[in-house]
Amino acid sequence: MEERWITSVGIDLGTSTTKWILSGLKVVRSSGDGALPRVAITDRVIRYASELYPTPLKHGSEIDAEALIRLMAAEYGRAGITPEGIHSGAVIITGETAAKTNAGELIGRLARGAGTFVAAAAGADLEALLAGRGSGAADYSRRTGKMVVNVDIGGGTANAAWFRSGELTASATLHIGGRLIRLGADGEVLYAAEPLRRWLEPEGAGALRAGGRLDFPALREICRRMAAGLVAYIGGPHGQPAVGGIEALLVSRPEPHKELPVPEEIWISGGVGALMRADPPASLQETARYGDIGPLLAAMLREEALACPVPLRPAEQQERATVIGVGTQTTELSGATMYLDAGALPLRGVPAVVCGLPEEHASEAEDAAGLRQSLQAAVKRGASLYGAVPADPPFALVLRGDCCSYRRLQRLAAEVTGAYASAAPDASVLLVVCESDMAKALGQQLARRSKDAGLRMVCLDQLRPEEGDYLDIGLPLGEELVPVVRRTLIFQLEGGGTDPAPGKEGGRE
């Protein structure tokens, strides 16, 4: 058994704060008698955690990109590492920051400058998933078998993720957060988020407009309603009674008319979760010590916890839950066998198209016809979904099915080459991902058939991306190891399950 450590970075640009961590990922490569080598990440250790910095903004609607890039450069220096020493990781923009005008441009710049392999992603459901993993809730549910909901409450949103036995079963996000109202020490309203103002109308929402003024009892009542509504919503049928139209604050929601799972425990992470351990504010001045309502919202959640029939407590990890999830939970490895042409990697943001391989037919002609039908349908779907945006490669072809005989492998390579050439005639890279351990043999067959067309080949295995996932594939870490980030935006299905939606970019491990 061989083992090595690689370095992963996690960057979380939130509504209120920006956080950054370096993690060590232990990679173990093993092989059994006559078996192909296997690689897996068996341990994750946080090696460096930055301070919590205020997310720099310009004019309120734009992230200060230059300030953030300088901040990241300084943090690399403090951690004693250069971007070239990073092997894996992710950048995620969360909460209200994801809606800023230059968010998409910024994550691209940060990703390009953060090392040889960093993925960039954003999305409320992704944030809920990563925070639940980083907070410890997912692992706790795996160890106990309990249904645990982790609610990560930051400046702009509350991201809830339900876990049973370590697996995500549902997620939802609401406009509830500490910086939805920004305050002066005298109660002057400097900013109030529009969704919150709409929710409170007609009950004095006019006072929430910039320049308005709120006294301590009024702020306390607003925070009490937010906390009570949140707890009632996530607590399920055994939670408290529904509070005045809290569904109006939903950003992302479960499948319509489907009940959320009833949790056995509720964990609160994020900046508000950390404040739950502090003494509650007793005045406007104490409430506004960070320029917002975060301390008072945390205090109201503590009060709701006393009356909630479901145990409710701060998470094991609070303020850094999301960035821990980003930095330690986003990497997978391909490595039993692979085929790579020089210069084809790294690749970023390649959407996955899944092709289920039909069972092998005894007749070679009928087997080839079955493969052709399945592959042509898959690449046609890929071209339709993703062909409008110029990219090279336009999509990754994911092959589901068992290892092939050598004769079938030849037929498969011929049909893949033909189908891909018709669907992506301008591509210079063909990316194939195999569920089974056949990437090297298949890649060699594909390369031989594609040589005249000038296609560079990347063929990986031991991975199982879903339709609509986005793949970021890094530079090789040695001869037989490639890091992969698989990003998925989670949507709800019947029964509280989850599945990716084709064509929607998001992020997941």
Q: What does the pLDDT look like over 247-259, one tens digit per residue?
A: 888 876 655 545 7
CATH number of 420's domain? 3.50.30
> Is residue 411 over pLDDT 80?
yes
| Spatial distance between the Cα atoms of 80 and 96, rounded to a whole number of angstroms | 31
Q: How confident is the model at residue 235 (pLDDT cuts 50, 70, 90)?
A: confident
Sign of CA dihedral 163, 166, 169, 172: positive
Q: In terms of domains, do 303 and 403 share one?
A: no
Q: 500 in a domain, yes or no?
A: no
Strand, coil or helix: what is 198?
Answer: helix
Q: In terms of domains, do 142 and 89 share one?
A: no
> Is residue 188 over pLDDT 50?
yes
Domain span including residue 283:
126-319
Q: 238 in a domain, yes or no?
A: yes
Q: In terms of domains, do 338 and 291 share one?
A: no
Q: In terms of domains, do 204 and 282 share one?
A: yes
Say what the pLDDT of residue 397 is. 94
Say what the pLDDT of residue 237 is. 58
DSSP state for residue 213 in the 8-state scheme:
B
Q: In terms of domains, do 164 and 298 share one?
A: yes
Residue keyed to tokens 């067959």:
445
Q: 503 in a domain, yes or no?
A: no
CATH number of 141's domain? 3.30.420
Beta bridge partners, 43, equal: 26
> Is residue 85 over pLDDT 80?
yes
Q: In terms of domains, do 354 and 313 share one?
A: no
> Is residue 279 over pLDDT 70?
yes
Say what the pLDDT of residue 492 is. 31
Q: In terms of domains, do 180 and 315 share one?
A: yes
| Spatial distance between the Cα atoms of 221 and 356, rounded to a whole number of angstroms | 55
Say what the pLDDT of residue 482 is. 81
> Is residue 379 over pLDDT 60?
yes
| Residues 346, 471 contacting (CB under 8 angstroms) | no
Q: In terms of domains, do 306 and 445 share one?
A: no
> Is residue 271 over pLDDT 60?
yes
Of residues 52, 288, 286, the one with CA closest to residue 190: 288
Say what the pLDDT of residue 265 is. 93
Helix (H) or strand (E) run with residue 422 in it: helix 406-423
Q: 41 in a domain, yes or no?
A: yes
Distance of CA 212 to the CA centre of its chain: 37
> Is residue 429 over pLDDT 80?
yes
The pair of three-digit structure tokens given for residue 125, joined into one six-digit string: 């459901």
Residue where one domain finishes, among candidates 319, 351, 370:
319
Is the preceding omega at residue 217 within 30 degrees of 0, hence cis?
Answer: no
Per-residue pLDDT, averaged over 89-104, amounts to: 69
The pair of three-digit structure tokens given for residue 493, joined into one six-digit string: 């299905």
Per-residue pLDDT, averaged over 382-388, amounts to: 78
Q: How far, CA to CA in Å, does 49 sit from each of 19, 89, 317, 432?
A: 8, 14, 13, 36
Q: In terms of domains, do 149 and 294 share one?
A: yes
Looking at the 3D structure of the chain, how many domains does it have?
3
Say what the pLDDT of residue 281 is. 93
Q: Work out the number of other CB atoms within 10 angstroms of the CB of residue 316.
A: 15
Type of residue numbered 178:
G
Q: 423 in a domain, yes or no?
A: yes
Residue where one domain finishes, among candidates 91, 122, 153:
122
Q: 502 in a domain, yes or no?
A: no
Q: 499 in a domain, yes or no?
A: no
Residue where one domain finishes, among candidates 278, 295, 319:
319
> Is residue 436 over pLDDT 90?
no
Pairing of strands 347-356, 396-400: parallel
Of residues 132, 180, 129, 176, the one with CA closest to residue 157: 176
Of residues 136, 110, 157, 133, the one with CA closest to residue 11: 110
Q: In terms of domains, do 202 and 74 share one?
A: no
User: Which of the pair, 187 or 317, is modelled with greater confidence?
Assistant: 187
Q: Which of 23-32, 140-149, 415-424 has the lowest mean pLDDT?
A: 23-32
Per-residue pLDDT, averaged over 144-150, amounts to: 93
On average, the pLDDT of the chain sits at: 79
Q: In terms of domains, do 346 and 315 share one?
A: no
Q: In terms of domains, do 262 and 339 share one?
A: no
Q: How far, CA to CA in Å, does 180 sit from each of 14, 59, 95, 191, 196?
A: 13, 17, 11, 7, 7
Q: 403 in a domain, yes or no?
A: yes
Q: How confident is the model at residue 496 (pLDDT cuts 50, 70, 90)?
A: very low
CATH number of 16's domain? 3.30.420.40
Is the preceding omega at residue 83 within 30 degrees of 0, hence cis?
Answer: no
Say what the pLDDT of residue 240 is. 42
